Amino acid sequence: MTSFYNHHVDETASTVLLIAFQEACARHDISPDSEDGSDLLTVLLYAFQKGTTTKDALVGLALNLIGK
């Protein structure tokens, strides 16, 4: 079975993911190094690989998940 972690993510995509992750963490006082931060990054990465590819869409997804 192939994990979604094994898929290639190019430099531009990784920049979008990182910016969205950092923004979502900052808005909700989540430490990027925490378990919650890790869970959030996993969800954002999966969403990105399924077609949610803009920073605004990823941050919006995070805001809806966190519900704050």
- Residue 11's pLDDT is 67
- Which uninterrupted H or E stretch holds 14? helix 11-27
Digit-by-digit pLDDT tens for the chain (68 residues) are 444 444 555 667 788 999 999 999 999 899 999 999 999 999 999 999 899 989 999 999 988 988 75
Q: Which residues of 46-55 are buried (b: 16+ CB within 10 A; e: fewer)?
A: ebbeeeeeeb
- Note whether 31 and 25 are within 8 A (CB): yes
Q: What is the DSSP letter of 34?
A: S
pTM of the model: 0.76
